[in-house]
Chain A
């Protein structure tokens, strides 16, 4: 039996080791080498890539990334909570609504981001409509700024917030809400004193699922931010492409990963029931 179990687990182990641990090892090695003259890398071993990160040039990018990822998470929570609550309470139609939340996943992330560019650009749908209606005369600067990046990130990662929230809200015992009302709680009081506290595991899981990919996002800030709204992801991407500084790119990747893991541990440790 035990041998059979090992046999079945083998593919998973091979994939994890070969496609995750080995590349990660390579990144660690690269980050400690010197940049090659024409890209790539060469000896000697050095920690210079890590010390370069202390350069005040990069700190704003790091802070921006946290600010944008944090703002996206809060916006996803504010938008996703009412949506999840609505779906959890819509009875027989909840599967229809859930599949509508999932629907965007059926098309490519890239295509969806380009679609936002068509909506937001100066000659895009929104601006031309507003001009035609006479609301404005000159196009609004909707694209290539932080706002556009936020819109893109919130749009892309909202389902990751809605699904865990829906999971906890759907399990919420409806008689608890009746009990709260019975004891004099207005709907708002019932929400803040009963629903939200009992929904904390879902809020926590959803926030992690949104915050982490947003922190490392590069496609959305690249396309919707137009290079003006750089995040860590773009910085890393640049090191491997235009800047041809693989060791530095590797070092930033590892630092980002370290920060994310530290945050994750801090979050999980606070979660007493381990309901992540």
Chain B
């Protein structure tokens, strides 16, 4: 593994606000790296600085070791898949894919275009215009148009968000396996934690311009470093500064004496979710607590008195 893209103390000050605040980040060659965060957290601005559409106010961006932050977008060997795909409406699928291959030999172009269209399963649609194909196909044209250039890093700006939810889930695994096959580094920007968790080798979580944590999906989910990261990925019960995941909470009728943390509570609502039972309860001090239980635990009715408990190891503490 070696570093293909490195950001050092990169900031972007807009007239109204600081969009990106001293972000440092290293992306390894061949990695699927996601920048995850709510809208307005600075993840898209970071991506646009790497692509060259924005110039950093300060800091350094290196691609293959060479600084690129002063280069124009057309001088950088990175390529972007835009959120709305930005396909050229006056060009066919083939012409869109060929757009970036201007300086390539003519004989090579035909083969490369054919190969990449086969890769994204668009063979046979070469002569269609973007308005004549489906949303999923448009997304694949946008991918093919960038992949055919074999960029050092492929930047993807929420490429699945314009698609309908079913298609989106299906495309996650497709995109992931595509990335494995082409062995191109993907830098994927998303606000969807499920998307980031399911596809990424590593995730960087951003909040208010700051990169809060970088790690594997497991690290980010199981050992979040900040309260924001803990709350943004998955559900979390908060008991003061202590967070407990709903799936770590167990239920019993009497207090277990095994060193577990235990609270007595009243059931507010119990919902059967098929694979699990979701129990919403209220503690004696009035705080809500949610537990996701195996359906084998039996059933509960509102008003039932229960004991909710979890292992101290499952507690996440933030000061």
Instruction: Give A residues with C-beta under 8 Å from B.
Output: 173, 175-176, 178-186, 189, 193-194, 197-198
Residues of B within 8 A of A182 (CB): 51-52, 73-74, 78-80, 146
- Give the residue among A180, A182, A189, A197 with the most B Cβ atoms within 10 A: A182
5 A-B pairs with the lowest CB-CB distances in the bound complex, closest first:
A183-B100, A179-B86, A181-B73, A175-B86, A182-B80
The secondary structure that dominates the A interface is: helix
Task: Assess the A181–B79 pair: CB atoms within 8 A.
Answer: no
User: CB within 8 A of A189: which of B51, B80, B102?
Assistant: B102
Task: Assess the A179–B80 pair: CB atoms within 8 A.
Answer: yes
User: CB within 8 A of A178: which of B86, B89, B102, B146?
Assistant: B86
> Within the complex, what minimum Cβ distance (angstroms) separates B189 from chain A?
15
Task: Assess the B86–A185 pair: CB atoms within 8 A.
Answer: no
User: Is B43 in contact with chain A by the CB < 8 A criterion?
Assistant: no
Q: How long is the Cα–Cα vector from A185 to B100 in the complex, in angstroms?
A: 7
B92-103 to A contact mask, C-beta < 8 Å, 1/0: 000000011011
Q: How long is the Cα–Cα vector from A179 to B84 in the complex, in angstroms?
A: 11
User: Is B140 in contact with chain A by the CB < 8 A criterion?
Assistant: no
User: Is B149 in contact with chain A by the CB < 8 A criterion?
Assistant: yes
Task: Assess the A184–B86 pair: CB atoms within 8 A.
Answer: no
User: CB within 8 A of B99: which of A173, A178, A180?
Assistant: A180
Residues of B within 8 A of A184 (CB): 74, 100, 102-103, 149
Task: Assess the B53–A178 pair: CB atoms within 8 A.
Answer: yes
Q: Could you pull out 28 A-B pairs where Cβ atoms are within 8 angstroms? A: A173-B84, A173-B86, A175-B84, A176-B86, A178-B53, A178-B80, A179-B80, A179-B88, A180-B99, A181-B53, A182-B51, A182-B73, A182-B74, A182-B78, A182-B79, A183-B74, A183-B146, A183-B149, A184-B102, A184-B103, A185-B99, A185-B100, A186-B74, A193-B99, A194-B88, A197-B90, A198-B89, A198-B90
User: Is B228 in contact with chain A by the CB < 8 A criterion?
Assistant: no
Task: Assess the A175–B149 pair: CB atoms within 8 A.
Answer: no
Q: How long is the Cα–Cα vector from A182 to B102 in the complex, in angstroms?
A: 13
Q: How long is the Cα–Cα vector from A182 to B90 in the complex, in angstroms?
A: 18
User: CB within 8 A of B72: which of A173, A181, A183, A198?
Assistant: A181
> Within the complex, what minimum Cβ distance (angstroms) separates B151 from chain A?
9
Task: Assess the B149–A178 pair: CB atoms within 8 A.
Answer: no
Residues of B within 8 A of A183 (CB): 74, 79, 99-100, 145-146, 149
Q: How long is the Cα–Cα vector from A175 to B90 in the complex, in angstroms?
A: 15
Q: Given A186-B74, A189-B102, A193-B99 in contact, is the A181-B52 Cβ separation under 8 Å?
A: yes
Residues of B within 8 A of A197 (CB): 90
- Give the residue among A180, A181, A183, A198 with the most B Cβ atoms within 10 A: A183
Residues of B within 8 A of A178 (CB): 51, 53, 73, 80, 82, 86
Q: Given A184-B149, A185-B99, A193-B99 in contact, is the A179-B89 Cβ separation under 8 Å?
A: no
Residue on A nearest B90 in the bound complex, by CB: A197
- Give the residue among B78, B99, B102 with the most A Cβ atoms within 10 A: B99
Q: How long is the Cα–Cα vector from A198 to B80 in the complex, in angstroms?
A: 21
Residues of B within 8 A of A194 (CB): 88
